[in-house]
Chain A
Amino acid sequence: MMSFYETLTALEKYPYEDLWKQYTEVDIKRALQKERMDEGDLLALLSPAAGPYLEEMAGKAQRITRSNFGQAIQLFTPMYLADFCVNHCTYCSFSSIYDFPRKKLSMEEVKREAETIVATGLRHILILTGESRRENPVSYIKECVEVLRQYFTSISIEINPLTTAEYKELLLAGVDGLTLYQEVYHQDTYKALHVKGPKRNYRNRLDAPERGCQAGFRSVNIGALLGMHDWRKEAFMTAMHARYLQNSYPECEISLSPPRFRPYLGEFNPESDVTDRALVQIILAYRLFLPRSGITLSTREPAVLRDHLIHLGITKMSAGVSTEVGGHTNEGGTPQFEISDGRSVQEITDMLYANHLQPVFKDWDILTMPASLSI
C-alpha cells in the first residue's frame, strides 16, 4: 500500500535550514493573497519571515474559520479508562518505568464517569488508554463503548494503533472518531524518545490514521507533540500528513491538534521550546493551509491563552478535563500530564458566550444503532 511514509521520506530530505532563510516577506504576502496554498506557501508561513505577519495571518484565518464553521466551538472531554502501559516514552507519566498503582475502570466505574460527564451537558467524548493489549484489549474498549453509547452521541478513541479490521470492529460498536498523534515526525528523534515497547515501531504508528480512514471513521485527528523537535519542521510534516489524508479520503473529516509538551512525572526537558508566538504561528499556518480542517485545542494550554486562541482558527476544545483514570468521579489517580486550564464545562461555556462564540455540546449522532434501538 502506498502511504504517507513515502512522501514523508522525500520531505525529510528538504534542506530546511536553507529554506527557512530563503523566504522573505514577499513570499508571505503572496501566500496571503492566495485562496489555495501549496506546499511552498506552507513552508513560507512557518518560516521566520512570517513572524512579523502574524496579525495579517490571524485576520485571514479568522475570516476563513467563521465562514466555514460559523461562531460555533465544539466541546468534548477526555475520559481515561486505563493507565496500564507497556511502553517507555520519555515524556509521559504512564511510562512502564514508573511505579505507581495502575488502574483500569470497571464497567460500573465507566458508567459512573459517564453519568458525571453527561450531567455537564457534554455529549462528545474521547476515551483514552495507555498502550497494553493485555490489560486493555480491543474487547475491553468495545465493552466500554457499549456502556458509553447509552450516554454519548459521539465517541472517539485515543488508544494504541490498531489494524484496519480492529478499527472496523470498533466503528461497528459505535466509535466514530480516531485521535492518534505521531508525537514526533522526525524519525531519529522518535526512536530516541520511544525507548522501549511496541510504540518504537514508527511506521506502524504513522500509517494508523490512514487505516482509520480506510475503516470508515467519520473523523480522524492527528498531531505532533510540539517541543520534541524543531517545531517548524514538525508542524510542516503534520500539515502535509493532514493534507495527504484529506486528499486520499475526502469523505473523512481530518482535524489537527497542536499540543505542546507539558510537565509530567519525569524530568525530560524537550530540545525545542515552543513559545506562545510559535504556537500561534503554527495554528495560523494550519488554518490557512487547510481551511476546512478542524483544529483542536486542549487544556494543556493555560486559560488566558486559550481565551485568545479561540479567535484564531480553533474549532474544537476540551473542557472539564482530568487526565487521570476515573478522574471525573474520584480524585487521587496519577495524571498522564498536568493540565493548565482546569475550568469546568460551565466556566468554558460562559467564557465562549462572553466572546460571542457558541459552545456546541452535541454535533453528531452515532448512527450504528444496536439492533434493539434501530428504527
Chain B
Amino acid sequence: MFDPLVIGDTVLSSRLFIGTGKYSRNTLIPEVIACSGSEVITVALRRVDPAGGTENIMNHIPEHMKLLPNTSGARTAEEAVRIARLARAAGLGNWVKIEVINDQKYLLPDNLETIRATEILAAEGFVVLPYMSPDLSVALRLRDVGAAAVMPLGSPIGTNRGLRTKELLRILIEEVNLPIIVDAGIGRPSEAAEAMEMGAAAVLLNTAIATARDPLGMAEAFREAVSAGRKAYLAGLGPVEESAAASSPLTGFLG
C-alpha cells in the first residue's frame, strides 16, 4: 500500500519520527533507526558538537535520515530563531522543529512565542514544524503563518502518559488542514496506534523508546503499532455502538 506522508517537498513512507535525546549511548541510535523504520529524526542543536569526535551525535545518524533539528533550550522566539539559523548554517538542513519552552517545571510550550518564531522562519524558507499545546486557534494561526505541519503534545514531555489531550487532538485533526504530528507523552505502542487511528499524520517519540529496558524491541513495537493504527484509520473504523447489535434482528419477523 503506497500511503506517503508529504511534508514540504519531502515524501516519507514511515510515519514514526524519533528523537535522539535520552539514550544510554549514541551508538544505539543507528540500531533504533533500523528497528523503527523511521525516516525522520529530531536532534537538539544544543547537543550537536561538530568538534566532538566520537561523542558528536551527528556521527551516529545515517545519511538517508531526514534531519529535524529542534530549538530545545529556547525560551523566546528570538532564541528559537537564532538556534534555527545556527542549525542551518551548521549544515543540518532547512527543516526545524520549533520548541519554545518558558516553563522549566512542566516543560509546556509557549504557544505565542512559537507562532512568532514560526512566522519569521517560514518567511526565511525553513520548513517549520512547531511543537505546541493543542489549541485550535493557535494551530490555525500556525498554519496561516506558514507551518508545514503542527506538533501538538499528547501529554507533557517525558511523562509517558499517552493521549491526555485526546479531545483537543481530535479537533485539530478535523479542523486544521495540515499534517498533525502527535509529539510528546506517548509511552506505549497502543497509544501511538490510537493516535494514528484518530487520523494523526505521524507521531514523534523519544522517551518511550530511549528509556525502555530493550530500546530496540520497543522501536520495533512502535513501528508495528504506528503502521497498524494507520491501516485502521485508512480502512475506516466501524461505528461504535452503545449496546451489542444482534446479528439476526429481534423484530425481523415483522417484515
Tell me the A residues contacting B by CB distance below 8 Å: 66-72, 121, 123, 153, 218, 246-247, 250-254, 292, 353, 356-365, 367, 369, 375
Known A121-B53, A362-B47; contact A67-B211, beta-carbon cutoff 8 A: yes
A254 neighbours in B (Cβ, 8 Å): 104
- The interface-forming segment of B16-24, B32-40, B135-143, B162-170 is B16-24
A71 & B210 in contact (Cβ 8 Å cutoff): yes
Known A70-B22, A359-B55, A361-B52; contact A367-B210, beta-carbon cutoff 8 A: no
Chain B, 54-72, contact with A by CB distance < 8 Å: what is the 0/1 string?
A: 0100000000000000000
Which 10 A-B pairs rank lowest in CB-CB distance, beginning with the nearest? Answer: A70-B22, A71-B24, A362-B49, A356-B24, A250-B103, A251-B102, A67-B158, A251-B75, A364-B46, A253-B104
A360 & B102 in contact (Cβ 8 Å cutoff): no
A123 & B26 in contact (Cβ 8 Å cutoff): no
B105 & A360 in contact (Cβ 8 Å cutoff): no
Q: How far is the CA of A276 from the CA of B84 in the complex (A)?
A: 45
B104 & A365 in contact (Cβ 8 Å cutoff): no
Known A251-B104, A254-B104, A361-B52; contact A68-B158, beta-carbon cutoff 8 A: yes
Q: Is the interface of A mostly helix, strand, loop or mixed?
A: loop
B46 neighbours in A (Cβ, 8 Å): 362-365
B211 neighbours in A (Cβ, 8 Å): 66-67, 70-71
Q: How far is the CA of A251 from the CA of B75 in the complex (A)?
A: 7
Chain B interface residue bracket vs A: 35 or more
Q: How far is the CA of A67 from the CA of B53 in the complex (A)?
A: 28
Q: How far is the CA of A353 from the CA of B106 in the complex (A)?
A: 29
Contact of A367 among B53, B79, B102, B106 (CB under 8 A): B79
Contact of B47 among A247, A250, A292, A360 (CB under 8 A): A360
Q: Supply 9 A–B pairs (Cβ within 8 Å), ascending by A.
A: A66-B211, A68-B158, A70-B23, A218-B75, A253-B104, A292-B105, A353-B24, A358-B24, A375-B89
Chain B, 176-211, contact with A by CB distance < 8 Å: what is the 0/1 string?
A: 000000000000000000000000000000110011
Q: How far is the CA of A313 from the CA of B211 in the complex (A)?
A: 15
A358 neighbours in B (Cβ, 8 Å): 23-26
Question: In the complex, given contacts A218-B73, A247-B105, what are 12 additional A-B residue pairs having Cβ atoms less than 8 angstroms apart?
Answer: A67-B207, A70-B210, A121-B52, A218-B75, A292-B106, A353-B24, A356-B24, A358-B23, A362-B47, A365-B86, A367-B79, A367-B82
A250 neighbours in B (Cβ, 8 Å): 102-105
Q: How far is the CA of A247 from the CA of B105 in the complex (A)?
A: 8
Q: How far is the CA of A247 from the CA of B21 in the complex (A)?
A: 26
